[in-house]
Structure formats: C-alpha cells, structure tokens
Structure 1
Amino acid sequence: MRIAVNDKKSDKKSKEPFVVSLDEASQAALTELLERVKQTLAGGQGSEAILEILASQPPGRLAWDLALIDQLARIPHPALPEALLGYFGPGLEKIRYKALKKAFHAWKSRQVPVPALHPPKDTTPIRLPDTEPSEGYLSIIDGAGSRMVVLHLAKTGIDFNVVHALINDQQGLKDLFSLSLSKRRRRELLAEYSQQEVGQLVSVPPAYALKLIEEAYSHTTDQNLEGPAIYRRVREQLLARIDLSTAPELEDLLPKLEDSEIEAYLLKSQELILDDAFQRWMAAPEDSDHDEVIGLIDLVGRSKY
C-alpha cells in the first residue's frame, strides 16, 4: 500500500508552536528543507535520501530539532522514522527523546511502520573534581553585539584547559576554540586581549560564562560554522566541569546602586542624549528606528529627574 506524501490532515492549520519559536531565517530554512523532503518522497526515494537532506542542517539547536520532528511527524511516510533516527543517532537526551516518541506515536496511529526507539541516555553530568578552580571572563559588548567569553579550566582528564568563544546577540555562537596553555601563558593572553580592541576583560563565575555560551549556541543561525562544531565536541566535557545550575542571574552580578548614584546616572544619560553630537547622529527616515529615536529625544528633553 502506498502512503501519500501530501496528506490532507497534515495540511490543516495549527498553532505550530515549535515553528513559531524559530527566527525568520530558520523558519525559511525549515520550509525549504520540508519541501525538499516532500519532493524526494514523491520521487520514490527512501530514508537514505531523506537523511542526506536532513544532514544539511546538523542537529544541536533544540528549537530547530523540536520543530523539525514536529513537522516531519505530520507527513505519514515510512522513510521518515528511520531517517530521523539516523539523523539524531543513538542515546538521545530526554527532551528530544520525548519529542521523537510523540512523533512515532503519531506515525503509528496512522499505520506508518516505525523502528524500535531506544531509551534516552542519562544526561545528568558526572562532576569531575578540579585540582584548581575554574575561571570565567567576559569582554564588553561591542557595537555589533559581539563579546568574548573565556573559560579557564583545570586540566584533569581533558586535553584542553582554555576555551575562548565569540558570541553575538543576533548570530549566536560565531567562533570558539579550545587549547591547552600554561598558567603563565593564560595570564599573558588575558592581558593581550585587554590591550587590544576587546578591551578589559572582567571576571565572572565560570557557570555564568558557560551559560552565555550555551544560550548563544542554542540560537546560532549557522550551525555549519567551525565554532559550533568545536563546541559540540567539547560541550559534554565542559558540562562535566561546570554546573550550569549554579549560574547567577545578571542582576545578581551587577553592583547595587544607591539612590543618589541612580539619579546621577539618569542625569548623565539625559545630558548625553541631548548632546549635539548625539542629535547629529540620527537614524535615516526610512529606518524603522527613526521615529523611536525622535520620540526618545523629545521625551528626555521634556523630562526632569
């Protein structure tokens, strides 16, 4: 019995929460990938051809992975369960395992044969003892939304003790490399960075530094870059060294200000916004931020703290 690829039930509108969670570029990439999958299935090709298509977007981004599983589960074709198993490989962690289990149930309810789904792996990291404390460092955020994150680790059971990452608030994890350095060379490198365009690096809890890398990795727009690929190789080792649950919130890291200090900062901000140099810098009229900037200047000009 041939199972149709274009099934009416899968075309019904739904809220599709997993797709909505993706940024516009990822949504477009997912739409294009699904279209290729449907065309390939319509051409009579099997799971190997589908796996090749899926591999063009490597797994690793949770939002992407969940949206992909959700959308493929709407297509009742026997090549898809096997292709998804090959795509993710054995030992899925619980959240992806549950999503895949739900997809398998959807396929089975529509008479699509599915292979055995292996139990999820235990993702609780085993904490390894450090002979010296880990350290974390951050640079300021530059005008392009990028900053450097540095981790210094004890070299116990791993072949690296330094991780340098470049993260961006829009693009995610742009670059990352791991290496092994002496304690002296690590200090020298921090000093060199501080003297360059990166600026002074500030010390932060290592769990907070790793949390920033994790968050950046989760919304990286191009998972094919070398940085995300390197991070996938060292990620489990980092999580075994640093407990992310201990990462503080940003507000807990910032110094507490007295009321007089807050007022001084507000007054200085007002002066800067009303400064001629700032007002000469204006967003172009066609820029979406133009009206917002005009409104801000007008509001601050009429305000008195």
Structure 2
Amino acid sequence: MTKKRKEHTFDSKCGEKAEQIIHEIETAQSQNLTAEEILTKISEYLKQEPCLTIHVIKSLARIPTPETAQLLIGMMAEADEKQVIKSIKRTLYKLKQKGVKWEEKTQKKTPILKPPKPAEPKGYLGSIDTTGSRIIVIGKPQPLRGLLVIFSIVNDQEGIQEFNLKEFSKKSFNEFMKDALASAEFPIVTAPGAYCIHLLKEAASLTQSLSRPLPQGYHDAERECRNIVWNYPAPLIYQYIPEDEVIDSAHLLKDSINLHKIMPFATWHIAAQEVEKYATRIIETQQSRIVLLPDQKEARLNTIYRDALDDLFPEEKRLLWKRRLEEVAYILLKTGKEYEAKASLSAAIDLNNPFSAIDPNPFIWNLVLKSIYILLEEDHEKKEDEKKTSLIIAP
C-alpha cells in the first residue's frame, strides 16, 4: 500500500493571505530584517494554514534578492515534505536565472571515526594555611604514558613558592596522593582540573607582578595546558552554593565565629609583627597605675581591638581574607562539612563591605582577638621562664 501524499489544497481565500504574506516579506526586507527574523515571523502563518506554503514559495520568485534566497534556504532546512523541498529548489533556480547571487553555507561532513577526545585533567586542592599557602596538584593524562603531574605550592601574597613537573604512572600517582600528601588536618580534595590550572595561572601572574622569575618547568606546563580554560566564575564554591543562599543569613554569619574551633581556621592568626603594637598597648593598659572601673577598662580594650581591626584590614587585605574563606569553604564542603562551608561563605560575602561600627564581621573580629592574645600569652610565658631562671642559684 503506497503512502498517500499530503495535499496542499488552495482556494481564493488562501491566495489573498499568501499575497499578504509576500507583501509583509517585501516590507521586512526593506526594513533590513534578517532572513532568520523574517522566517520566524512567517512560520506562524504557515503552520496555522499549510495550504499557504507552496503558494508563498512560488511567489517568492517575484522578489529577486539575496535575502529571499536565504529565506528559502532557511525554509528548506526546516521542511520535511518532499513537495515543499522541490518547490523551494525550483524557486531558488528561478532566482539564480534572474541573476540573484547568495552565499551557500556548506555543512562540513563529520568523519565517521572521530579522534578520541583528550581526557580531562585531574585536579586536587589543599586547604590554606595561616600564611595563605596551599597545595595544587594537576594530573594531565598523556596518551600511552600515564600522567604528566604538576605539583605546586602557591601563596596568595607571594605567588608560586614551589613547582615540580614529573611523569607518573596511574598507580604511582595514586600512591603519591594517598601516602605523600594525605593529611587529616590539611586534607586535599578533588576539584576540576581546569579550575586548578586557573589558580596556578593566577599565582604565576602574581609572581611576575612581584618581578620574580617563574620557576623552571612552568612554561612547559603552560604549553601542555594551553587549551584548558576555566569558563565559570571563581571561586569554585559558587558552583555549589549560590551567593543568594547565604547572603542574608544572620545566623550563618554569627556562627562563623565558631569556625576558629575547626581546621584549618584553628591555626589561622595574624603575623606577630602586625599585632605587636596592639598587644603592647593592652599590656600598658593592664599595668597602668591609673585605677579604672571594669567598664572603663573594657571600653579602653575595645578601642584597642577596634583600632587593630581598622588598621590591619584595609580594603585590599579584607578582600584577601575574603578569598581565603571562599576557597576553604569548598574544602569544607568536599569533606562533608556543609554547614561550616556555608558559614565560611557567609563571612566571606560580608567582607565585601567595610566593617560595621557596631557589629563587625564575627570571624575577622575573633581572628584579631585571637592573634593579639597569642602574642600576649607568648609574652607571659617568656616572663615566667625568666623568673624561673632568675631563681636558680649558681653553685
């Protein structure tokens, strides 16, 4: 049984509508609308009344322009009926006879056997220590040769600190990651290889901005990874926790003070030389002969803390610590600490703005206090040791 061909019945009413469409096409071309825009416009008419299609196609021979040819080519790409396709080809032939020229876009034939797509590089990120340093490992698969491994330690104020480029078998690489780099306190987690390369390039740019040479082997690694690009926003954590999920959460921001109880934040502190003068002022306040009421003493100490906060965290430094909190939030998330990751991200986002005079960023406020009192405790222990030494009677 033969398949019945779809008929495009045509009457005088359809003829009037078809002529109206032709007029609209002429008007659209005079207004410099593209063939794609015109096709979108007329497609709705043709879908509603298929009887118009063939007549419109034939009538387009009366508009001998390259735009008409492109419109017909667009219609042919969407057509699935032989009758319609034949009619389009006839009209295109008539346009060509009238001297109309147009650009014919030829589709490239896809080879049957495609070359295998290169495997994505493996990426690993370490947590950030109190100085701003972290480990970045990138394993780029090499055809028939295992992995080309890029091992680096980068610092957010110094750039690339250590760099090594070496080939590993898959087995030896897994052993290296498990035995040589594994640490409960500073875990290394998987991350997109492209993002790890992005971080390494950031560190390289910082190294160069400090007028320091890039380490040996870096340019070789850069050539190996030249086609690998991170096309998403950084830091990586925002791919997993959107900013609007934590930005207005007062309890997450408040709880960020508790992050100092867990790693790596428990080890974070501001360098001694930066907080030394504030520790000295506190010692002077505590040893002052002026008798102060408890409220007065507390007010004076709070003034010192606030001075330290404002002096130690200008905008540039504030944004540096913001990035640290964002990067560590990803590590926390990957190690199963989702709530802590959100608290870290909340504290980071709050650092976009200057500190509140009444209620400054809880995480940074506690960081300042902790750093000062670490120094005070060291000073106290030093004096206690000196007292013990002075009590020893020489024989």
TM range (shorter): 0.3 to 0.5
Structure with greater helix percent: 2
* Superposition TM-score, scaled by structure 2 size: 0.35
Larger radius of gyration: 2
